[in-house]
Structure 1
Amino acid sequence: MRRLNQIFLPIVGILLVNVMTAQKAETPQNTYDLGANINEMTLTVGGILIAATNNGLVGIDSKLNKPVFTFSNFGKLKPEETEFIPLSPYIVVSQGADSKFAGIAKTKRAVINYITGNVIFNSETDNWNQIYTCNVVLPQNKLIVSGIQKEGDKFEKMTPKVAVYDLGTQKLDYSFFLDKPGRVGVAKDFSVTGVPLLLKSMLIIPTAQGLIAKSHKGDDLWECKIKGINWMVSDLTEKEIYGFETTTNGKNTRIHKIGSNGAELWKDDRKVQGNVSNFQILPQGLAVVSDKSSGGSTSVFATSDESEIAFLSASSGEDLWEKAPKTKGWVQHFYVQNDGILFGIQQGGINKISFDGKTLFKKPLKTGENIMVMAESPQGLLYITSEDANIVDLKTGDQVWSKPLKYKNSAAVASTFDRSKNRYLIAADGDMYAIDAQSGEASDFSKVKFDEKEVVNTMEMRNGNVFLSSSQNVALLSNDGKQMYHEYYKSPGQSGFVKVLSGVVAVASTGLAMAHAAKAGMNKTNSYGSANDLSNYNDYGKENQRAADMFASIGDAAFDTMSKRFKATAATENAQFILTKLDDGVGLVKVNKDTGKVDKEIVLKDKKPEYQVDEMAGVLYYKANDKTIYAYNLQK
């Protein structure tokens, strides 16, 4: 069962192999009979496979012969009722429609640590009759729940409440009521309207009545009348807080500024068009990206919809730029640098604006559509789109290469840097080019013709040679572009047309990745961080190390396990895997990238097998029948 499970760090795709000398390995390392029909399989960031069955959720670790956990308290779950919290070992399970008023419809929530298998929170066992919100807060490793709890006297059982749990110790830190139980007067709606903000000295809850601040013991601190806030972020000192309120029609966002004492720091809120997708507090001001929609096409490529970039005064909220830069499309890339803001547009185009609103590039840089790569290189800013590639000076926007490399619009473009020859290699639509890093001179490197009309989507240097792959093809070229081998493995049934189309869909997923990242960052203590830093080209190892360090800093056993996973070298880095037709039926084959020889063949005997491959640990999870999962060791 292949699907986009969690948008995360670049963890390799799944590829292919040759069958002549294969070692058959049809005996699984472990077999898991789950006792109920399996509806979906999801491989988590932490390496645990989660199976959704008719009875609930089951967590599987291939190193253990029994499931890590079985959660059947809520019965069968719809896909939308299971949320994998980004960059964490947590799953939030939801059931029942959200409601602002107690007694209308019961809502249930549970939080599972899928690595330890512990159910950290269950609204049923903790006597919550109704849940308004249930938010995991990182890196503090807390859970904040709001709703109605069936404890205390009859008034307390009807009064909205907030509870804060420690996810590491699995204990309640503190709880408090949002209104005075039994208060006489007109009923007020105290439902929680957004994500609470957890600071070092307080917790701020956005409600339909305004913001409510409590100490970490639940004592009253202050209240503010700003209502309907959806999410908040603070500056590094935690003395200035920004709240974001989406208007009722969803077409605009209002930004409010509040002090750590609850005072409104701006005379008027600041309205921006559309929904805020990126926000960063800088010494010079506030950088805001908002995406506005005409209400027509939902496509990320719709030209009638576009992003807006604003730069606001932190003291007043006024726009510091006399004239905002025109985007004429979606902001696909957004990076903050020492001298200004660099951004790339999905429909094509790159520009850079100083913090005082001046254009730093001599003129906006024209590029092809869909900027797949924007990264820093020793020569400048390297960009690669579906139509062209070039390096430009990050200060002026001048082309480093005398002219961009142009190629036919391709569903996928693969590239790498050859350090030994000091050159960039780019493959698009069957053609490969070599670009000298110093002179920018481009030359034809090789022609690559893959079967089933596939295009190269992965490229890497291996001992001076160039490894290329797609879904059903692998090839190795020498450093002068000559083919050393090419192996093709017929797909079990998917047509070449569908494969090319799926490449386009993968390109469009950039928008989803950005949305996912924004959601993960909504409850950060501050927006300084490195989310908008421009990465260096080909630094995947550094990205993995950064993730490992981040997990380790939380100081929890489950996060420590995740840290070790990302520090380890990928178990399958020297092999590619592909689902193909074998003599004995459909199966997965493992090929050595350097030799093209098949090291292993696993016959699955299923025309449309559902499976997941954990490439970091070297494990294949295969749904053998409606109720059974096999785990195969791919390393041996």
Structure 2
Amino acid sequence: MPALSFAFFRSRLWLLPLLLLATQLHAVEQLWSAKLKEKPTWNSLTALGTLIVGTKGAVQSYDPDTGELMWQREDLDKTSAFNAREVPGAPYLLCNHSSGIAGSKVRLLAVDYLTGETVWEAEQIQGQYLATYPIPEHGIAIFVFNGWGATKDDQGMIMRAHDLLTGETKWQTKYGKANAVALHYADGSGKFAPRMDLSGYHDPVVEGDIAYLGFQGVEALDLNNGEIKWEREFKPGAKDLKRTYAPIRIDGDRLYAAGGGSVYAINKSDGSVIWESDRISSYAGLFKSRDNAIVSQVEPINGKVFIRFGGNFSNGQTVMLREPLGVAAFDAATGEEAFKFAKPKEGITNLMMLPETNTVLFADANSLYGLDVSGETVTEKFEVEIEFKRKMGGGDIAKIGLGALGGLRGLAKGAMSSSKSRLDVPVAIIRRDGHIVVVGNQHLMGYDPIAQDLKWSTYYAAPGNGLTDSVLFAVTALAATAGNAQAMSASSYSSSQYSSGVNNVHSALDRYNRVAGKRKAATKSDGGYSYVLTKVEEGRKKGIGLMGISLETGEGDKQVILGDKKPDYVVDEGLNRLFYFKGGKQLIAYGL
């Protein structure tokens, strides 16, 4: 169907400078600064707003109100965000420490991140750390490692469940041989001595007493005793890339998964395959086998199973766009293909469902598409040309930190290939009250899908020459998992099922509830900003800095000069704070 043109908007681009001048800009206030003893390698904000910082030599915690170093654990060195997992509903970090030759002695421990004290410490194992998964619904943490013990039971890939509150071992299961699952580079791992782990896979999806694992297809793990009740193996999208199995989706008595270019409908009670779709692939060249498409998202919607294939993927060190790109739908009962759209070019966003209008949205480099999914057949509802096609030179590339998506860091590492014209390709669609926002690296566009009307479109040029492909991947990966209520659901530790006679446990939970209440009372914002690296002015001062763009209006109304082309920062949207790691030597907090 014909595209809706935005020529009227382009013809009025000359108004943009006047509009920007008219916007009420707020220069931010510096709240505090603190010296850093060592350059950070990772950082994260806890649910309580505490800032956790990892370095090569320690894990530290800073008071977000004052900048005071609350605690430092030098025994937790060479960590990453993946092996310092926060437990939902309790002030605990699940950490591991490796020592000995090649880090072969590993111990798991829980740290109270409000005090830095050890809550419990598990028995040391001989092996290689792979992952830790907190399962608060069952009060356990699953510790996964390659065991190198003396007996056969202690060798291979092992899963061990620990009580979240005491560390007591509940059960242990041998998953397979040490090389049973392909590993990937740990995020932030050094190039000379890289660490490998399970960060290339999505977290287990929990329903009832079963955790569905996605390491080699789908496996059903009984959380009560560690028994693997059934397994259904199939190939990943690409072994060398992270998260090329689509997140598992559960719908009634079946679940949907994908791998090797195919989609699977699986009976969740016994693992039997109800149907398997035809393989989606692309021509690889003469005398070469066809390349399987990477199915990166699966969504059961209105009696059909929609998928997105292709997109941006990481191997832990670089990010790349993998084709073919497209969207397809299958009959949920039979697996027969009901719709296929293979037109996307130069990139593809997440699929977004609007249930009130029975519309599925996605975008590529050229257009925002809306599919009507109300009837038996899927039809194209609208195609809207978007303003993300500006060709960019080396000094005209912007960077989006996307604090509105949960505090993604503004780390600019790597660059896209310069072999062809650079395009500001949309990387995600997010929902914002009565409209959606299409997010690119330089542009943001607000669109009303019900009225099919452009609300606003904003562009800010950037001063650097490094396209943030790391952010492209982060947004795409987040969009693929967002909205999975099964993966997000978690019981609170204050519920009766976690009652314990251990005084320090109750004390920790009381502290958590007090701080959570204080934070809720102090919350000033529900989020809704993206942060762009651009040139900003504060009175007579000019320099490189961050512009906060409202996802409601598209206006830039917050700004701060940083003087850094590749700033490392994280945003606390609830309390309107920005934490900036200046040169790896100083931590500065700004009130937005």
TM range (shorter): 0.5 to 0.7
- Tell me how far 1:279 sits from its aligned partner: 2.5
Residue 208 in structure 1 maps to residue 172 in structure 2: no
Describe how 1:103-502 pairs up with structure 2 within 5 A.
Answer: 112-120=111-119, 132=126, 139=136, 208-209=150-151, 226=153, 228=155, 230-232=157-159, 243-244=173-174, 246-247=176-177, 278-281=218-221, 286-289=229-232, 299-300=240-241, 331-334=245-248, 340=254, 342-345=256-259, 347-353=260-266, 360-361=274-275, 364=278, 366=280, 369-386=293-310, 387-399=325-337, 402-439=338-375, 440-450=378-388, 451=390, 452=392, 453-462=423-432, 464-479=434-449, 480-495=451-466, 498-499=467-468
Larger radius of gyration: 1
Residues of 1 paired with 2:81 and 2:252: CA distance? 42
- Tell me how far 1:337 sits from its aligned partner: 5.8
- Cα shift readout 1:363-405 (whole Å, capped 9, x = no counterpart): 5364782223212323432222232224433221234xx5323
- Tell me how far 1:468 sits from its aligned partner: 1.9
Residues of 1 paired with 2:387 and 2:173: CA distance? 53
In structure 1, the partner of 2:531 is 577
Task: Look up the equivalent residue of 1:40 and give its one-letter code.
Answer: T
TM-score, reference length from structure 1:
0.57
- Cα shift readout 1:262-296 (whole Å, capped 9, x = no counterpart): xxxxxxxxxxxx97675315899932255789xxx
Check whether the contact 1:229–1:243 (CA below 8 A) recurs between aligned residues: no
Task: Look up the equivalent residue of 2:327 and give its one-letter code.
Answer: A
447-456 vs 427-436, greater mean Cα deviation: 447-456
In structure 2, the partner of 1:523 is none
Describe how 1:598-617 pairs up with structure 2 within 5 A.
Answer: 598-617=556-575
Check whether the contact 1:291–1:330 (CA below 8 A) recurs between aligned residues: no
- Cα shift readout 1:216-247 (whole Å, capped 9, x = no counterpart): xxxxxxxxxx453642479xxxxx97732543
Q: Quickly say closer, same or farther: Cα 1:607–1:251, change in 2 above 3 A.
A: closer
In structure 2, the partner of 1:627 is 585
Residues of 2 paired with 1:335 and 1:631: CA distance? 39
- Tell me how far 1:448 sits from its aligned partner: 1.0
Residues of 1 paired with 2:524 and 2:490: CA distance? 14
Describe how 1:483-632 pairs up with structure 2 within 5 A.
Answer: 483-495=454-466, 498-499=467-468, 503=472, 539=483, 542=485, 546-547=489-490, 549=492, 554=498, 556-557=509-510, 560=513, 571-583=525-537, 584-632=542-590
Residues of 1 paired with 2:549 and 2:590: CA distance? 16
Residues of 1 paired with 2:67 and 2:257: CA distance? 49
1:23 is aligned, of 25, 28, 35, to: 25
Q: Quickly say closer, same or farther: Cα 1:242–1:29, change in 2 above 3 A.
A: closer
Task: Look up the equivalent residue of 2:576 and give its one-letter code.
Answer: G
- Tell me how far 1:426 sits from its aligned partner: 1.9
Q: Quickly say closer, same or farther: Cα 1:359–1:472, change in 2 above 3 A.
A: same
Residues of 2 paired with 1:560 and 1:595: CA distance? 35
- Tell me how far 1:562 sits from its aligned partner: 9.2
Residues of 1 paired with 2:532 and 2:277: CA distance? 46
Check whether the contact 1:361–1:398 (CA below 8 A) recurs between aligned residues: no
In structure 2, the partner of 1:164 is none
Residues of 1 paired with 2:102 and 2:549: CA distance? 53
TM-score, reference length from structure 2:
0.61
Check whether the contact 1:334–1:342 (CA below 8 A) recurs between aligned residues: yes
Q: Give the gaps of 5 or more residues in structure 2.
A: 1-16, 162-169, 183-213, 282-291, 311-324, 393-422, 500-508
Task: Look up the equivalent residue of 1:228 and give its one-letter code.
Answer: Q
Check whether the contact 1:28–1:630 (CA below 8 A) recurs between aligned residues: yes
Residues of 2 paired with 1:106 and 1:32: CA distance? 34
Q: Quickly say closer, same or farther: Cα 1:632–1:433, change in 2 above 3 A.
A: same
- Tell me how far 1:59 sits from its aligned partner: 0.7
Check whether the contact 2:302–2:374 (CA below 8 A) recurs between aligned residues: no
Q: Quickly say closer, same or farther: Cα 1:81–1:339, change in 2 above 3 A.
A: closer
Q: Quickly say closer, same or farther: Cα 1:564–1:375, change in 2 above 3 A.
A: farther
The residue matched to 1:361 in structure 2 has which SS? strand
Residues of 1 paired with 2:487 and 2:517: CA distance? 11
Check whether the contact 1:365–1:397 (CA below 8 A) recurs between aligned residues: no
Greater RCO (Cα-Cα under 8 Å, separation 6 or more): 1
- Tell me how far 1:109 sits from its aligned partner: 8.0
Q: Give the gaps of 5 or more residues in structure 1.
A: 1-16, 146-191, 196-205, 211-225, 235-239, 253-273, 302-328, 514-534
In structure 2, the partner of 1:85 is 85
In structure 2, the partner of 1:323 is none
